[in-house]
Amino acid sequence: MRQIIFRSILSVMLFTLIISCQAQGTIVLIETNMGKIKVRLFDDTPQHRDNFIQLVREHKYDGLLFHRVIKQFMIQAGDINSKDAPADKHLGDGDLGYTIPAEIVYPKHFHKRGMLCAARTGDEVNPQRASSASQFYIVTGKYFTDGELNKMEKASGKTFTEEQRTAYKLEGGTPHLDGSYTVFGEVVDGMKVVDKIQETPTNSADRPTKDVIIKSMKIVKK
């Protein structure tokens, strides 16, 4: 009897460990000149996950800028033309010549604070909502009240889940983007750095007046 109980306990512990490891996913360390950010990539957006991992391994992001920063909204990077870009250079159009098919897992993944999402061109030229190969953003967002969320529901025709409502009221986010962009990861450490970046002064094109540079990216856990 003791052996059976012991085996059962071991089985439960092993199962819990496996589930925990699966939940953790691939962790990428983004080292910037303002600090370090760790993001976890979701396994249920595999094309975005694998593309991001490949770009990290090829060092495509090293030296690129966070070229678009909007307080209480998001910080964006990945323009391949942003490396060593002069202060007057227009940024935001640089890409790798291909797109990633949309993997919008909604409402499981939504735009709460700290989510890692793929940038893309607008619906008018991109009705399939395919993602940029390299450009991404991290949500900072703001807090919302029930009244504000109710107005959004009426205007958009969509209904927020209780999980979304709780997150947007207590953590913040950008709910108006829900269901329109691929959310493929989340910040697991370094939101203080993200907040520091979003507070940096910007010019009329939302580019930081002092460059925020991605020094390197590397996979630290998989």
Query: Could you tell me the residue ranges of all domains in the chain?
Result: 26-221
Q: What letter would DSSP give residue 17?
A: H
**Taking the domain 26-221, which CATH number applies?**
2.40.100.10
Which two three-digit tokens encode residue 89?
């250079």
**What pLDDT score does 221 carry?**
73
**What pLDDT score does 25 carry?**
84
Residue with tokens 């979003």: 198
| CA–CA distances in Å: residue 37 to residues 12, 75, 174, 203, 214 | 33, 12, 20, 24, 10
Q: Are 141 and 111 a contacting pair, CB within 8 Å?
A: yes
pLDDT tens per residue across all 222 residues of the chain = 445 444 444 443 433 433 344 446 899 999 999 999 999 999 999 999 999 999 999 999 999 999 999 999 999 999 999 999 999 999 999 999 999 999 999 999 999 999 999 999 999 999 999 999 999 999 999 999 999 999 999 999 999 999 999 999 999 999 999 999 999 999 999 999 999 999 999 999 999 999 999 999 999 975
φ/ψ of 105, rounded to 5, equals: -100, 80
